[in-house]
Structure 1
Amino acid sequence: MVSATERRRQEVLRAIIADYIVSQEPVGSKALLDRHKMNVSSATIRNDMAVLESEGLIVQEHASSGRIPTEKGYRQFVDSIHEIKPLSAPERRAITGFLEEGVDLEDVLRRSVQLLSQLTRQAAIVQLPMLNLSRVKHCEVVLLSPHRLLLVLITDTGRVDQRNVELGDGFNPDDLPRLRDLLNAALVGKTLGDARTSLADLAHDAPADIRDAVVRAARVLVETLVEQPTDRLILAGASNLTRGVRHHPSGLPGVLEALEEQVVVLKLLANVRDLGDVTVSIGEENEVEQLHSTSVITTAYGSDGAALGGLGVVGPTFMDYPGTISKVSAVARYVSRVLAGD
């Protein structure tokens, strides 16, 4: 059972974090008493701050300054959040109004990160639905020239991928419907991993007169989408990180370079695989050294109870954790409803 003294110290820690998030300036005992009305003496507050400092939850940068939260302090604060802060009515209207104008899933996701970066004033990232979990809905084939095809793959999650196919022989436009039907027969209703066998069979059994086009198209699909699937990402609001430039000891360019690396961002979004769960990584909890001065909040979106991709924000460690968690969760829920067709 938590004692009254421990509860008060937790309140002091929360107050220090709240004030530091707003000002990014060290917080003193007098300021806490003036702003938070804790009904105790200044000596009691100073004693509580000394205990919190001894526990590594806050730190005094200079002898005459107030205290600032440490990563351990932020972690204890985040772990104490049991309820997600509800969005305001204007925030809910902004999300639904702006995202409902999306013309397709990719447009909705692009709008989602744009809006999320504006609402949180952080950098926002989203992963398009993972190809290995999506089923092919249709494969359109476009003849760009007698020696080049364009394959447009549409999945049941709304993801669209395009691939060029270079042909060895000239292709007769009249054979396009046959090629399209053969590819769709091998692909539709399957994940790309499951379609590997049917694509191999298709290439083996292709009609002689269009065999070259069938073999080349199947090879491109297997090599670029099955064996080496590309998880596409959208990033918005990276310029927001310049607000906390002095809090990045290793330099803001290092943070921005890390966000440009697709593998790095995919690792950030891979932390949460269950719908409704939110992961918060603070400072050195992030594997990538360039992101040790940041906090990352991520969650998943999906349909039918399955996660199809991740989204989240990257910002300074002094971010508004309750508000940011709420906004990331709300946007993920909306994207999930789009996928479900609600």
Structure 2
Amino acid sequence: MLVWHSDRASASGCRSPAAASGTAPRVPRGRSTGTGRCLVAHDERRLEVLRAIVQDYVSTNDPVGSKALADRHDLGVSPATIRNDMAVLEEQGYITQPHTSAGRVPTDKGYRLFVDRLSAVKPLSMAERRAIERFLDGAVDLHDVLGRTVRLLAQLTRQVAVVQYPTLSRSAVRHLEVVQVSASRLMLVLITDTGRVEQRVVDCPADIDAGAVAELRTLLNSAFDGVKLSEAGGKVPDLLETAPAHLRGLVATVSATLLETLVEPGEDRLVIGGTANLARGSALDFQGTVSPLLEALEEQVVVLRLISEVDAGTVLVRIGEENAHEALTGASLVTVGYGSPERALGGLGIVGPTRMDYPTNMAAVRAVARYVGQLLAES
């Protein structure tokens, strides 16, 4: 059946941006959306033709003709019938003809239908899953985990890989270390449950002895261990009231920096890898230039905002014009959150041309996110 029921996407664990916002269209069987004639219910064959066009164009990088489809795919019909089906698909905006004498290529709308009608995403092989696990298990800290993750994703998908550092607002305090830098200077070190580290320097009005530093360290960890950062700021005033009298002056000095560390953490960041993969495309990818996309990746703000809008375990695919930012309208993003189902710590994914292997890339992104979440939970 060629009518697009967008909730079919749930079978592959994927959401479109419209589905994610709750605004995805639901098209009654064999009826129009009002924006153009829909693909009628009896024409399942045309969906198979579209699938074949997408698969061939992604693999060959050449526009696809009816004869090639008949030769490569067991569609059960003649090239003439395939030509008629392609004419309907083109009329309805699912494919287009880039040159007068060329075959057809999928449009953003065609890719969207292809992705939304995936009945399932083929999982990675056992060997691939073991390779991911071994590669990530060798990481020594959070920075190494995320660095390995982008290299792995870029290698698996041959696209640009992006990974967001765990969002501090979703994290909890694992440990607060107090380091004496000099007689009157301290360094506060926040370590979150995801392994992220934030540091702040505190200048004190008088010299501090080692015993007071040790007491302060114990006091801070007793008050904040396991507390979510979103709730930690409210506990700082209580700290002043409960501190021993001989420590209150030091606690008062440290409090402003402590609030800054807990309530105003550093900006979220991205780790990016595999930008050289953008050079593998054709002149049809990115309208012939990748410069705007490279600039958007370098600035990080736009991609960071998009990659943050994800849930753990649910793959979100944005295709071409579905990306509001002009620099990304020639690209597709495949993203997912990592962490637990109850709490996504951050997002990761890939950026590449709309002409990409969606099923394979979706499977890779989802598998890597699962292992990253498990690794951080166990660390």
* TM-score under structure 1 length normalisation: 0.90
Q: 1:270 aligns with which of 308, 320, 329?
A: 308
1:146 corresponds to: 183
For structure 1, list consecutive stretches of 5 or more residues without a partner in the other structure: none
1:95 corresponds to: 132
Contact conserved, 1:60 with 1:68, CA < 8 A, in 2? yes
State yes or no: 1:77 paired with 2:114: yes
2:92 corresponds to: 55
2:19 corresponds to: none
Using the TM superposition, name which of 71-80 and 187-196 deviates more.
187-196
1:67 corresponds to: 104
2:291 corresponds to: 253
Give the 5 Å matches for 1:1-342. 6-203=43-240, 213-228=250-265, 230-244=267-281, 246=283, 247-249=285-287, 251-273=289-311, 275-303=312-340, 305-341=342-378
Partner amino acid, structure 1, of 2:85: D
Distance 2:162 2:262 in 1: 22
- For the residue of structure 2 that corresponds to 1:193, the secondary structure is helix
- For the residue of structure 2 that corresponds to 1:296, the secondary structure is strand
- CA deviation after TM superposition for structure 1 residue 209, in Å: 6.2
Superposition RMSD on alpha carbons, in Å? 2.5
Distance 2:325 2:278 in 1: 17
Equivalenced residues, count: 341
- For the residue of structure 2 that corresponds to 1:157, the secondary structure is coil
- CA deviation after TM superposition for structure 1 residue 268, in Å: 1.4
The one-character-per-residue Cα deviations of 1:210-240 (angstroms, maximum 9, x if unpaired) are 6565334322232244135532332221222
Distance 2:250 2:235 in 1: 16
Question: Are the structure 2 counterparts of residues 304 and 177 from structure 1 closer, same or farther at C-alpha, using a change threshold of 3 Å?
Answer: farther
- CA deviation after TM superposition for structure 1 residue 41, in Å: 1.4
The one-character-per-residue Cα deviations of 1:225-256 (angstroms, maximum 9, x if unpaired) are 41355323322212222223732238422212
Distance 1:98 1:19 in 2: 32
Distance 2:254 2:50 in 1: 61
Question: Are the structure 2 counterparts of residues 182 and 22 from structure 1 closer, same or farther at C-alpha, using a change threshold of 3 Å?
Answer: same
- CA deviation after TM superposition for structure 1 residue 307, in Å: 1.7
Partner amino acid, structure 2, of 1:85: K
- CA deviation after TM superposition for structure 1 residue 323, in Å: 0.1
Distance 2:130 2:226 in 1: 36
Question: Are the structure 2 counterparts of residues 201 and 285 from structure 1 closer, same or farther at C-alpha, using a change threshold of 3 Å?
Answer: same
Between the aligned residues of both structures, percent identity stands at 54
- For the residue of structure 2 that corresponds to 1:189, the secondary structure is coil
Using the TM superposition, name which of 130-139 and 156-165 deviates more.
156-165
Question: Are the structure 2 counterparts of residues 294 and 168 from structure 1 closer, same or farther at C-alpha, using a change threshold of 3 Å?
Answer: farther
- CA deviation after TM superposition for structure 1 residue 281, in Å: 0.3
Contact conserved, 2:154 with 2:274, CA < 8 A, in 1? yes
Distance 1:120 1:229 in 2: 30
The one-character-per-residue Cα deviations of 1:147-199 (angstroms, maximum 9, x if unpaired) are 43222212223332222334444443443212212322332121123221221
2:6 corresponds to: none
Contact conserved, 2:146 with 2:163, CA < 8 A, in 1? yes
Distance 1:262 1:171 in 2: 42
The one-character-per-residue Cα deviations of 1:237-284 (angstroms, maximum 9, x if unpaired) are 1222222373223842221221233432221122222x3211000011
Contact conserved, 2:336 with 2:348, CA < 8 A, in 1? yes
